[in-house]
Amino acid sequence: MKILFHGHSCFELEHGGKRVIIDPFLTGNPKATAKPEDIRVDAILLTHGHGDHVGDALQIAKENDATIIAPFELATWLGWQGAKVHPLHIGGGNTFDFGRVKLTPAFHGSGFVREDTREIIYLGMPAGLIVTMGDFTIYHAGDTGLFSDMKLIGMQHKIDVAMLPIGDNFTMGPEDALLAAEWVGAKRVIPMHYNTFPLIEQDADAFVKRLEKKGIRGVILQSGESIDLTR
């Protein structure tokens, strides 16, 4: 499996000739090097309804004739806008032609903010993602604080890579993410949701060094960089 990072919380996963993108926040993302029109995928996976995660999902879905897989309320809302969607909800999963997706809990919010009318459209519960493609299993925690059921996620799944937020303020900071990494028990941990904006600036190198002291392999990816799990 190849994992390509686009900055913030956006990753592309490629395996067996299939490709999916998670939380495609490209337009307006100061760290992104790719544009929505560059993306070629079979499916779009969304964790929740905030703009820095839904991002360019609608454009990418329509240009690729790709299905958006998301929590029920968010999927329904995007379906009303013309996207092909597959709704899931917490604890539920489904097998697709590229692999299997299961939603896990995440402790955060989810809503589309309309600045012009000062409205917030509620878009259901946020989620994390367990994505299995071939023999590889990825845990993308989404935007979340630390919660003890991460231990259960690690018990139920043999996770090859965990993407964990470390930005603090809106999500876990590095201290809590270190504990999350231990509980999840992944072979590798990729920090995400940091340094996109001043409010979530963090030292990823320091975080990875602390992971290594716990015997956990940390991988820092810059936008546009990738790792290949088959090597």
pLDDT tens for each residue of 168-212: 999 999 999 999 999 999 999 999 999 999 999 999 999 999 999
Across residues 41-48, what is the average pLDDT? 98
pLDDT tens for each residue of 62-83: 999 999 999 999 999 999 999 9
| Residue 79 Cα to chain centre, angstroms | 20
End-to-end CA distance of the chain: 9
Residue 222 is classified by DSSP as -
**Domain for residue 123, yes or no?**
yes
Give Cα separations from 3 to 10, 15, 92, 167, 201 (angstroms). 10, 9, 24, 21, 23
- pTM greater than 0.95: yes
What pLDDT is attached to residue 230? 83
Tokens linked to 192? 């995400």
**Domain for residue 42, yes or no?**
yes
Measured CA to CA, the distance from residue 87 to residue 79 in angstroms comes to 10
Residue given tokens 């992971």 in the structure block: 211
Amino acid at 79: G
Across residues 38-62, what is the average pLDDT? 98
Residue 222 pLDDT class (50, 70, 90 cuts): very high
| 231 pLDDT higher than 80 | no
| Residue 192 Cα to chain centre, angstroms | 9
> Which stretch of DSSP H or E encloses residue 88?
strand 84-88
**Domain for residue 230, yes or no?**
no
Measured CA to CA, the distance from residue 96 to residue 118 in angstroms comes to 38
What pLDDT is attached to residue 23? 98
**Domain for residue 221, yes or no?**
yes
Across residues 76-95, what is the average pLDDT? 98
Structural domain containing residue 15? 2-225
Long-range pairs of 115-121 with CB within 8 A, sequence gap ≥ 24: 121/49, 121/77
Measured CA to CA, the distance from residue 132 to residue 138 in angstroms comes to 6
**Domain for residue 231, yes or no?**
no
**Domain for residue 106, yes or no?**
yes
Amino acid at 39: I
181: which residues sit within 8 A by CB, 6+ positions away? 162, 164, 189, 211, 214, 216
What pLDDT is attached to residue 184? 98
**Domain for residue 10, yes or no?**
yes
Q: What is the share, in percent, of the chain residues with pLDDT greater than 90?
A: 99
**CATH code of residue 92:** 3.60.15.10
**Domain for residue 197, yes or no?**
yes
Measured CA to CA, the distance from residue 147 to residue 183 in angstroms comes to 10
Residue 8 pLDDT class (50, 70, 90 cuts): very high
Tell me how many domains the chain contains. 1
